């Protein structure tokens, strides 16, 4: 297994390098660059930007150099100094921008993820065990609705309800008086209050998805010979349920766990914009729109790195969870 892991890790290196090049190339593809989008913005605000101003700015930012040169400089800095470049929009190094938003992004993502698993797995098991009961139909109905409703629409509906019922649309993660306040119990409570909508909205689709997957897997597993054997041995029903079918049914959930790694670090994008959440998703979206290329490039690079890493973790987790995979691998 160790050999397998090492092989996988080594294979990931050229993949990541290739991705970095593609990423940089794609970012350069759309017409215009940061200076033109910045100038458009400043001109809209009434400022006068002459050609000379723009040329000077391009020279200042190194945007007048050929693409391959810009790429070489960028990669060199990443490899040798861990410097991911500079965000033009923020006037800060990319890493500082990423750090600024990382904390809250992780809070939102992890709470959402916990919500997903805590809600989806029990319901999935229940709907499978009680197939075709009223409860099954109820939860299945809900989960189909959850899968079919676009997140951002649900966000708008919940904000509307919150506004009409409580007079506060619960935008953002904090009430305005707490945004810059130091951490305190009250701020924590305020955060929890504001987390309800984002967690439900962001989590709902994948929760619904997980319920379906869990239910389907459980139904497959419930009538397997090992379950029947266990039952005939007189094992308690709970023990049977958790020892055999549940364990096996978790497989696909674990294998997708790794893929969610990149979404944990970026958080959602459209929903976050609708709800005004100060997390990574909208930051990256803005960077892409404004051609803030080092910020956007670094993010795309992180995300692809995380996806590669996530797949690796999933494979290892699966091998650990499922004895069949383990033995098959040994057989190789």
Partner 1 sequence: MKRSKSILVLFLCVVVFVVGCTSNKSAEPSSSATTKPTETTEVKPVETEGTEGTKEAPMLAALVSDGKLPPVEERMPVPGDIMIEPVVEEIGQYGGDWKMAWNGPSDKWGIGMITEEALFRFTKEGDKVEPNVAKGFEVNEDSTVFTIHLREGMKWSDGMPFTADDVLFYWEHMLTKETFGKKIYDAYYSVDPVSGEKVLADIKKVDDYTFTVTHKYPSVQFLERVAIDNKWFFAPAHFHKTILPELVGEEKTLEITKQWGFEDPKQFLVETGYYYWLYPQIPTLRPWVAKTDPNSDQFILERNPFYWKTDEQGQQLPYIDRIVQTKIQDPSQRLLGTLSGDYNFGQFGANDFTVLKENEKKGDFRVILWTQPTWSSEGIQLNQTTQDPNLRKLFQDIRFREALSIGVNREEVSDIVTNGLADPIQASVPEGVIGYQEGWAQQWAEFNPDRANQLLDEIGLTQRDRNNFRLNADGSELTLTIYEADPNKNTFLELLKKYFEDLGLKTDIKLVEGGALFDLKYANEVPIHTENISVANVAFRPDTLVPLRIITPWFGHYGLYSQSGGTDGVKPEGDVAKILELWNQIKASKSTDEINRLSDEIYKIHRNNQWVIGYAGPTPAITVASNSMRNIPSDLVSVDEYRGLGHAHPAQFFIK
Interface residues for partner 1 in 287-306 (CB under 8 A)? 289-291
328 binds partner 1 (CB under 8 A): no
Which two tokens mark 243?
């020892």
Comparing CB distances to partner 1, the nearer of 3 and 164 is: 164
Decide: 178 and 187 in contact? Cβ < 8 Å: yes
Which two tokens mark 301?
């690079």
- How far, in Å, CA of 274 to CA of 232, rounded? 54
Q: Using CA atoms of 37, 42, 48, 52 in order, give the dihedral in degrees to the nearest 10.
A: -40
77 binds partner 1 (CB under 8 A): no
CB of 162 to partner 1, least distance (A): 10
CB of 302 to partner 1, least distance (A): 20
CB of 282 to partner 1, least distance (A): 5
Out of 108, 119, 214, 305, name the contact with partner 1 by CB under 8 A. 119
Q: Which of 281, 225, 218 is nearest to 249 (CA)?
A: 218
33 binds partner 1 (CB under 8 A): yes
| Cβ-count burial 137-153 (b if 16+ within 10 Å, e if not) | eebbeebeebeeeebbe
Comparing CB distances to partner 1, the nearer of 169 and 252 is: 169
Comparing CB distances to partner 1, the nearer of 195 and 308 is: 195
CB of 5 to partner 1, least distance (A): 34
163 binds partner 1 (CB under 8 A): yes
CB of 14 to partner 1, least distance (A): 30
- How far, in Å, CA of 135 to CA of 124, rounded? 11
- How far, in Å, CA of 319 to CA of 326, rounded? 5
241 binds partner 1 (CB under 8 A): yes
CB of 99 to partner 1, least distance (A): 12
Q: Which of 220, 211, 216, 219 is nearest to 145 (CA)?
A: 211
239 CB neighbour count, 10 Å cutoff: 10
119 CB neighbour count, 10 Å cutoff: 18
36 binds partner 1 (CB under 8 A): yes
Tell me the sheet residues that pair with 86. Answer: 93
* Residue 97 φ then ψ, to 5°: -65, -45
CB of 232 to partner 1, least distance (A): 13
Which residue shows structure tokens 């497959």? 220
Kindly indicate which of the ranges 21-29, 141-149, 186-194, 324-332 contains the residues binding partner 1, using the contact rule CB under 8 A: 186-194
Out of 57, 147, 219, 312, name the contact with partner 1 by CB under 8 A. 57
195 binds partner 1 (CB under 8 A): yes
- How far, in Å, CA of 295 to CA of 298, rounded? 5
Which residues ranging from 133 to 162 are in contact with partner 1 (CB under 8 A)?
135, 159
189 binds partner 1 (CB under 8 A): yes
Kindly indicate which of the ranges 112-120, 251-259, 301-309, 315-323 contains the residues binding partner 1, using the contact rule CB under 8 A: 112-120
Out of 12, 63, 100, 313, name the contact with partner 1 by CB under 8 A. 100
67 binds partner 1 (CB under 8 A): no
Q: Coil, helix or strand for 92?
A: strand
229 binds partner 1 (CB under 8 A): no
CB of 301 to partner 1, least distance (A): 19
13 binds partner 1 (CB under 8 A): no
Which two tokens mark 261?
């790694």
Q: Which of 211, 191, 214, 208 is nearest to 151 (CA)?
A: 208
């Amino acid at each position: 297994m160790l050999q397998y892991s090492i092989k996988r890790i080594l294979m990931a290196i050229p993949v990541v390098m290739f991705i970095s090049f593609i990423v940089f190339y794609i970012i350069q593809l759309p017409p215009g660059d940061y200076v033109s989008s910045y100038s458009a913005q400043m001109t809209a605000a009434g400022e006068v930007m002459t050609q000379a101003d723009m040329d000077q700015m391009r020279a200042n930012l190194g945007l007048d150099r050929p693409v391959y040169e810009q790429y070489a400089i960028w990669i060199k800095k990443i490899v040798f100094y861990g410097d991911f470049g500079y965000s033009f929009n923020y006037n800060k190094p990319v890493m500082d921008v990423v750090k600024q938003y990382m904390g809250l992004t992780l809070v939102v993502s992890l709470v959402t993820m916990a919500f997903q698993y805590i809600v989806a797995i029990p319901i999935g098991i229940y709907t499978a065990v009680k197939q075709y009961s009223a409860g099954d139909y109820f939860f299945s109905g809900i989960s189909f609705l959850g899968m079919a409703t676009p997140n951002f629409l649900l966000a708008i509906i919940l904000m509307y309800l919150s506004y009409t019922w409580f007079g506060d649309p619960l935008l953002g993660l904090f009430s305005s008086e707490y945004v810059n306040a130091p951490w305190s119990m009250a701020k924590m409570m305020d955060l929890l209050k504001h987390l309800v909508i984002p967690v439900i909205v962001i989590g709902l689709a994948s929760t619904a998805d997980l319920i379906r997957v869990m239910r389907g897997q459980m139904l497959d597993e419930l009538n397997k010979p090992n379950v029947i054997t266990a039952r005939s041995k007189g094992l308690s029903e709970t023990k049977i349920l958790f020892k055999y079918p549940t364990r096996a049914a978790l497989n696909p959930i674990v294998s997708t766990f790794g893929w969610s790694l990149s979404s944990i670090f970026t958080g959602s994008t459209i929903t976050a914009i609708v709800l005004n959440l100060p997390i990574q998703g909208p930051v990256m979206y803005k960077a892409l729109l404004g051609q803030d290329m080092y910020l956007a490039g670094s993010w795309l690079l992180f995300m692809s790195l995380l996806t590669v890493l996530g797949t690796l973790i999933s494979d290892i987790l699966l091998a650990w969870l499922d004895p069949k995979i383990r033995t098959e691998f040994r057989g190789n």
